[in-house]
Amino acid sequence: MEKLRILFLCTGNSCRSQMAEGWARVLKGDAIEPYSAGIEKHGLNQHAVRVMREAGVDISGHRSKLVSELKGIRFDYVVTVCGHANENCPVFPGKTKKIHVGFDDPPRLAANAATEEEALGHYRRVRDEIRAFVAGLTGNLDRND
């Protein structure tokens, strides 16, 4: 059976969608061919890289991408991981299904942190929430639903 092609979409493809792609590669690589992109490019968030590395997942080689850079790839699912991307999600051709699972925005939450460790706590919490979502992902998806 072919792997499900899943695009994790966020506003800037800098943090949440990157973490989701990283978790999907590690946890579900046998069933999912994951991608991530944004409706804008904000660059790869180094705090996200750090907390993913702490969890044993290296996303340091990822880069921020626009959806248009993935043109020609037929996705089975697009998973929007932030409200802005959900509201501004482009239309995908064919039978692509869209799912919205909103996660808090770690950079926004960390903006008022008193210390770097406090800021990283927000990233870790969201990282772990994304991990839990991805871990249960394929059980809820079907190419023919």
User: What angle do the packed helices 46-54 and 116-135 form, to 10 degrees?
Assistant: 70
Unique residue bearing structure tokens 């925005």: 105
8 Å CB contact between 53 and 41: no
**Active-site residue set:** 10, 82, 89
In whole angstroms, how far apart are CA 90 and each of 64, 96, 102?
17, 11, 17
Return d(Cα 126, Cα 108) in angstroms, integer.
Answer: 12
